[in-house]
Structure 1
Amino acid sequence: MSQTTIYTTTVEWTLEHSGTVSLGNGPVLEFSAPPEAHGTPGVLTPEDAFVAAVNTCIMLVFLWSCERLRLDLAAYQCRAEGTKLIELDHTERFTQVRLTPHIRVKAGFEAAADIQNRVQRALRAAQKYSLVANSIKSEVILEPEIEII
C-alpha cells in the first residue's frame, strides 16, 4: 500500500533578491538569486540547492546500498554539475545533472572484480531509488571513479 509523507519549508523575503528558508527539520538558511541575477555572492541559491539535492540524495541511497551489499566503504566524495538551458523566450531549466563520485572501497580478501561489481550495483540502486532523482525531469548521469584499496 502506498503512503505519503509531507515535507515543509517556509521562505521569507529579507531584502532585494534575498531571503531566508526555514526547513521543516529545523535549519534556517539564507538564500539569494545567483549573482548574475542581481543576487548576493556566497549565499545559497535555488540552483545550488537543486544540484545539491540530487547529489546528497544519491549519496545517501548509495551509502544505504553499500551497507546492504556489505561493502567496506573507505571514502566517498562527489562533484555534481547541473547544466542549465536558457531558452530563447528566457525560460530556464536544468537539462542534466552530472555526478562524478570518487569512491574508495576496502578489498579485504575478496577479488577486486567482485567488489567492483557490487559497487556498480550500489550505484545503480542509488540512481534507481533516489527520491530526488526520481522527482525531476533532468537527466541524472553518474560517472564514477572507483578505487579498490
Structure 2
Amino acid sequence: MSHLHHYKTSVTWTGNRGEGTSHYKAYDRSHTVSVNHKPVINCSSDAAFMGDAECYNPEELFLASLSSCHMLWYLHLCADAGVVVTAYTDLATGILNEHLEGGGRFTEALLHPHVTVADASMIIKASELHDLAAKKCFIANSCNFEVKHHPVTKVAGNTCTMRSSMAVGNCKP
C-alpha cells in the first residue's frame, strides 16, 4: 500500500525589463520560488545561460534536493539503528550534459557525505547505512541516472576514519 503526498510551489518570473521576451537578451532570467509561509528564494538561471551568478539556479537546487533527501534518510536510519551522528556535511557535485542543439540532462550526481559518529563501535554500521539511504531517497529514485555516494565517516575525538568501506586510523571501540 502506498501513501500519496502532494506538494505545491510557486515560481514567478521577475526579469521583465520592459520589453518582455522580445528577444533573447531583452530579459533577465531572475525569478522567485515560494511556498506558503516560507521565505522566498531568489533564483536565476546559471551564469552560463545568461543568469545571475549571485542567485541560486535550478541545477544547484536540484543537487541540494538530492543531497538533502539522502541526508534526511541517512539520519533517520542511523537513529533507528542506534548510530549516533554528531555532524554531517555533504558537497554534492553533478554533471549536466548540454546538447549542442539545446536542452540536455544531468548524467551524473555524486554525493560526498562527511559524517561524524559518537563512538568507534558505530563506524561500520554508519558507513553501511548510506547504501540503504540511497535506496530510500525519493529524489534519487526519481532520477533517470545513478546517484552515487562516497561517504567519509569519522569518530568524534578519534583518528578513526572510514572512506566507503576502508578504515584508517585507530578504529577500535
With the length of structure 2 as denominator, give the TM-score of the two structures. 0.78
Indicate the residue corresponding to 2:129 in structure 1: 122
Select the structure with the greater relative contact order (CA < 8 A; seq sep ≥ 6). 1
Match of 1:36 in 2: 48
Whose Rg is larger? 2
Measured in 1, the distance between the counterparts of 2:142 and 2:131 equals 16
> Can you give the 5+ residue segments of structure 2 that lack an aligned partner in the other structure?
16-27, 157-173
Q: Distance in 2 between matches of 1:106 and 1:122?
A: 15
Partner of 1:84: 96
Q: What letter is aligned with 1:13?
A: W
1:68 and 2:68 equivalent?
Answer: no
Change (3 A) 1:38 1:21: same
| Offset of residue 24 of structure 1 | 4.7
Match for 2:63: what amino acid? V
Find the residue that maps to 2:14 and give its secondary structure. Answer: strand
Higher strand share: 1
Q: CA RMSD in A?
A: 1.5
Give 1:12's aligned residue. Answer: 12
Residues 7, 24 of structure 1: 8 Å contact kept: no
SS in 2 for 1:44: coil
The amino acid of 1:43's aligned partner reads C
CA separation in 1, counterparts of 2:30 and 2:113? 32
Deviation at 1:124, TM superposition (A): 1.4
> For 1:94, which of 106, 110, 119 is the aligned residue?
106
- Aligned-residue identity in percent: 31
Query: Aligned partners of 1:7 and 1:26: how far apart in 2?
Result: 14
Greater helix percent: which structure? Answer: 1
Shift, 1:136, TM fit: 1.1
Partner Cα separation in structure 2 for residue 27 and residue 19 of structure 1: 14
1:25, CA displacement in angstroms? 5.9
> Secondary structure at 1:103's aligned position in 2?
strand
Q: 1:128–1:25: structure 2 CA closer, same or farther, 3 Å change rule?
A: farther
The AA in structure 1 aligned to 2:115 is: I
8 Å Cα contact 1:128/1:134 also seen in 2 = yes
* Paired letter, 2:13: W
Equivalent of 1:53 in 65, 84, 88: 65
Task: Kindly provide the CA deviation profile for residues 38-64 of structure 1, in whole angstroms up to 9, marking residues without a partner as x.
Answer: 111210100111000001110111110
Q: Distance in 2 between matches of 1:25 and 1:122?
A: 34
- Off by >6 Å, runs of 4+ in structure 1: none
Residue of structure 2 equivalent to 1:136: 143
Residues of 1 paired with 2:43 and 2:7: CA distance? Answer: 19
Q: Distance in 1 between matches of 2:41 and 2:72?
A: 21
